[in-house]
Amino acid sequence: MVYNDVIEKIGMIIDAAGVVVIVAGAAFAFVASAVRLSRHEGDVYRRFRQQLGQTILLGLELLVAGDIVRTVAASPTLTGLAILASIVLIRTFLSFSLEVELSGRWPWQKRDTAASSQVR
């Protein structure tokens, strides 16, 4: 019983870190955008969206990690693993969608572009 309680607490801490990252990152992106607007800089909206998207991606990664810790380490049942697989699939889709939205390319296209520039 003690082991499962510790694992559950660790998963909750990782989840809380994911939420803190998203909230703090959103606040930081908002403040940075307000400063840019006050300085009359250009492209404020795009930069805000990029900062916010990167923050959400990092938060999602932490939330997935928390789910994995709680599901696999605490109580590895087939039902729990099926639920975890669904959650990871949905969050992975969200991560890919955000990456495409932020960069305009699929994540693996960056590696191809970087590899081809290093070869030359």
> Could you tell me the residue ranges of all domains in the chain?
2-119
> What Cα–Cα distance (Å) separates residue 73 from each residue in 1, 6, 39, 116?
13, 10, 50, 41
pLDDT at residue 36 greater than cutoff 80: yes
**What's the rounded Cα separation, in Å, for the pair 41 and 31?**
14
Which of 9-18, 64-73, 90-99, 101-110 has the weakest average pLDDT? 101-110
Q: What percent of the chain has pLDDT over 90?
A: 28
Can you give the pLDDT at residue 28?
Answer: 96
Can you give the pLDDT at residue 113?
Answer: 52
pTM for the structure as a whole: 0.73
- Which letter does DSSP use for residue 70 in this model? I
CB distance 84 to 67 below 8 Å: yes
